[in-house]
Amino acid sequence: MNNSAISIVDLSPFLLRDEDGKRKEREVINEACSRYGFFQIVNHGVPLDLMSRALKLSKSFFECPVEEKIKGSPLPGAPFPAGYNRKPNPSYEFSEYLVMLQPGSTFNVFPAKHPQLREVMGDLFNGFSKTGAILESILNESLGLPPSTLAEFNNDRNSDVLTALHYLPATETGKIGVNSHKDVGCITFVLQDEVGGLEVQNDGKWIPVTPKEGALVVNIGIVLQVLTNNKYKSPNHRVVRPNGRSRNSFSFFYNVSAGKWIEPLPHFTKQIAEKPNYKGFFYKDYLQKRNENKLKRTCELEEDLGLSHFSLTL
């Protein structure tokens, strides 16, 4: 298996209402989501100059002294750690990141010397959100669901998160930037620089997701895996730090609200006489179980955290 396994999907037919082109691209998307849970998209509507500027400004920010960056640390008592973060977790010891919630949120914290980064991340957030709605509609059609099923299910955009990430170069003792894991939420978009390092697991092998200029990586989250009763896969993936170079990227999580009830849709269970693979749960309960397992280290691999608790097939 090689890099050709990671499909490139052209979204322009959906923006131009090219019905024949839409049908062909939906077939590619359906295959990619069913087999790998990963694909890349081009002509997605997010301006290329905005993406380029965002990467340059984030790189400039992360090159600043720590004393300056920590001025953007999360506010005490904030419900989510928006702002500059460094993980004490060994899995993330070679990375740092900057989190943004809704652009107008009072919880977003940025150092005063970086207003341009705040502005460009706000524009990027809005661009990703629009692309998320477009892709959600495409996935709805690809799955054969009644119109607007996914949009009505995930109709609250207040839980979306944009993160700028920076990974240090590999060392002799460590090359992993982020350990193997599955993403929470519905859909993840990744904008990575030319350095690469993102890998997806399939059939026990790690496949590099080679950066393509102007492209965004799309990753199916566990919410869609549960809703589709495993028809669409949330893949294990990781970041391998390159030798001699830092890596910069952005991740946008097209999320669901904490109080959302999640269970396999009847379209993939009762209507086709299939048993559900998961019992229903509130999203916040899944997140709590995931965090509990992380703290207890009850699971050897991060991808096992949380979701197995709700499985009906173990």
DSSP state of 33: H
How does DSSP assign 262-291, residue by residue?
E---GGGTGGGT---SB--EEHHHHHHHHH
Question: Residues of 31-43 as b/e, b for ≥16 C-beta within 10 angstroms?
Answer: ebbebbbbbbbee
CA 309 – CA 82 distance, rounded (Å): 28
Q: Where in the chain are the domains?
A: 3-259
Q: pLDDT at position 92, please?
A: 45
Sheet of strand 216-220, all strands in order from the earlier edge strand to the far edge: 8-10, 38-42, 216-220, 187-192, 247-254, 161-167, 95-100, 83-85
DSSP state of 186: S
- Note whether 277 and 290 are within 8 A (CB): no
Q: pLDDT at position 236, please?
A: 92
- Note whether 283 and 264 are within 8 A (CB): no
Q: pLDDT at position 304, please?
A: 53
CA 313 – CA 41 distance, rounded (Å): 33
Q: pLDDT at position 2, please?
A: 41
- The overall pTM is greater than 0.85: yes
Q: pLDDT at position 89, please?
A: 45
Instruction: pLDDT tens for the chain, 314 residues: list them.
Output: 344 578 999 999 998 989 999 999 999 999 999 999 999 999 999 999 999 999 999 999 999 998 999 999 999 888 788 999 986 544 445 689 999 999 989 899 999 999 999 999 999 999 999 999 999 999 999 999 999 999 999 999 999 999 999 998 888 777 888 888 899 999 999 999 999 999 999 888 999 999 999 999 999 999 999 999 999 999 999 999 888 889 999 999 999 999 999 999 999 999 999 999 999 999 999 998 888 877 776 444 544 567 888 999 86
CA 314 – CA 309 distance, rounded (Å): 9
Q: pLDDT at position 87, please?
A: 66
Best CATH choice for the domain 3-259 from the list 2.60.40.10, 3.40.50.1980, 3.30.300.30, 2.60.120.330: 2.60.120.330
CA 34 – CA 300 distance, rounded (Å): 26
Q: pLDDT at position 227, please?
A: 98
Q: pLDDT at position 306, please?
A: 72
Alpha helices in the chain (DSSP H): 12-16, 19-35, 48-62, 66-69, 115-142, 149-153, 222-227, 283-296
Nearest alpha carbon to residue 167 among 241, 100, 223: 241
